[in-house]
Structure 1
Amino acid sequence: MRDQKMYCYTCGTDEPHRRLTADEKAWVKNKTHRKSVEDVFMCKAPNCRNLRTGFQKRPFDPILRLPLREDL
């Protein structure tokens, strides 16, 4: 799936977002204890990596950012 332009709460602007990889989904499930993370997207803006769902701009409180791949 290609990137989708969505509003990023931390950037304050519309930014490209992408779906998560399998390893990233596992990390989010472990961190949030959600049953499904299929609707979670990551902001691709430089140094952001904020997570949101397709329907909510700020579903996680506090804000949740995906760590770099080597830190997963």
Structure 2
Amino acid sequence: MPPGIKFCYTCDTDEPHRPLTENEEVWLKDRTGQKNVDGYFMCEAPSCRNVRTGFDKRPFDPVIRVPLPD
């Protein structure tokens, strides 16, 4: 599997993922209360934006999706 391609639980397929931007990390910290969110990735499929870690396909129940930038 090419780098950056991971299984997306909400898409139910392998999709490109990328690390969170600095603003997205701040948002996720506020949303979850976690102090370290360096290991999270966002699905880049159109209209998905699901958050996962490198090892856990579904770290949140319910699913957390990064909001679209302003």
Instruction: Tell me, in whole angstroms, the C-alpha distance in 1 between the residues paired with 2:35 and 2:66.
Output: 18
> Hey, what does 2:16 align to over in structure 1?
16
Paired residue secondary structure (2:6): strand
- Work out whether 1:37 is the aligned partner of 2:32: no
| Unpaired stretches in structure 1, ≥5 consecutive residues | none
Runs of 4+ more than 3 Å apart: none
Identity over the aligned pairs, expressed in percent?
A: 57
Paired residue secondary structure (1:26): helix
Instruction: Tell me, in whole angstroms, the C-alpha distance in 1 between the residues paired with 2:48 and 2:31.
Output: 18
Residue deviations 1:16-61 (CA, integer Å, cap 9, x gap): 0000110000000000011110000000001100000111000011
- Tell me the TM-score normalised to structure 2 length: 0.94
Instruction: Tell me, in whole angstroms, the C-alpha distance in 2 between the residues paired with 1:13 and 1:22.
Output: 26
| Unpaired stretches in structure 2, ≥5 consecutive residues | none
- Tell me the TM-score normalised to structure 1 length: 0.91
